[in-house]
Amino acid sequence: MKTLSYLLLAAAIAAAPAQAQQYKPGTATIASAQGTLRVNSGLVNHFNAHSFYVYSFQWQPQGKDAVWNQVPLLAKPDAAPSEFVFKTTATADFPLSDARVVQAGGKTWLSTAQLKYEDTPYDDNASVELKRYELVRQPDEDRWVFVLRSTRNVGKKTVTQALAAPPSP
C-alpha cells in the first residue's frame, strides 16, 4: 500500500503544471509614486503538459478620479494595442517564458524573458531573449501602455536568471 501511495504522489507531481511564473494565480499589487499596478495571473488548464499561465496588467494612476486602465504591450509607441496578456510557459523541468515588474529610476518596467531555440526545441543552441517595456501614458489617447524599449540576447542564462537581475534599459 505504501508503494502505491508513493506512485500516486509521484504521478500527481509529474502531472501538475510547472510553477515557473513570477506571480502566483490571483492578483499581485505593486504600488509606486505614480500609481498602482495590478498583475492578474490565471491558469489556462488543458490538464496536460500544455497548460500555462497568463498575466494581464491594470494600472491606476494617482489621482482622486483615476480609473483602472487595462495595459497592453506595444512593440513601438504608435503601434495599435495587440497584446493585452503575457503567456508564461514551462516544461516540467524549467520555465520557457516569464515576466517580472520592477521599479527603477522612478519608472515602472515590465521585463519578459523567453528561451529561444536556434534550430529545434531542446537543442544546445538555446539562448534567452530579454525584453524591457516601460509603462507610459499616451496623452493623445489618454491611455497607459507598456512600450518596448529594448530587446537583448542574454545568452545561456535561464529565464529565471534573466529576470532576477535584468540589465538596465
pLDDT of residue 168: 62
pLDDT of residue 69: 93
Give the SS3 label for residue 40.
strand
Whether 110 is in a domain gets the answer yes
Strand runs labelled E in 65-126: 69-70, 73-74, 85-90, 95-104, 107-116
Q: Are strands 143-153 and 73-74 parallel, antiparallel or unpaired?
A: parallel
Work out how many domains the chain is built from and give that number: 1
List the domain range (segments joined by +) for residue 90.
Answer: 2-164
Please check whether residue 162 is in contact with residue 154, taking contact to mean a CB–CB distance below 8 angstroms.
yes
pTM of the model: 0.81
Whether 151 is in a domain gets the answer yes
d(CA 98, CA 159) in angstroms, rounded, equals 7
User: Mean pLDDT over all residues of the chain?
Assistant: 82
d(CA 99, CA 56) in angstroms, rounded, equals 11
**Per-residue pLDDT tens for 65-113?**
899 999 999 998 888 777 999 998 877 677 889 999 998 888 999 999 9
pLDDT of residue 166: 58
Whether 160 is in a domain gets the answer yes
Whether 169 is in a domain gets the answer no
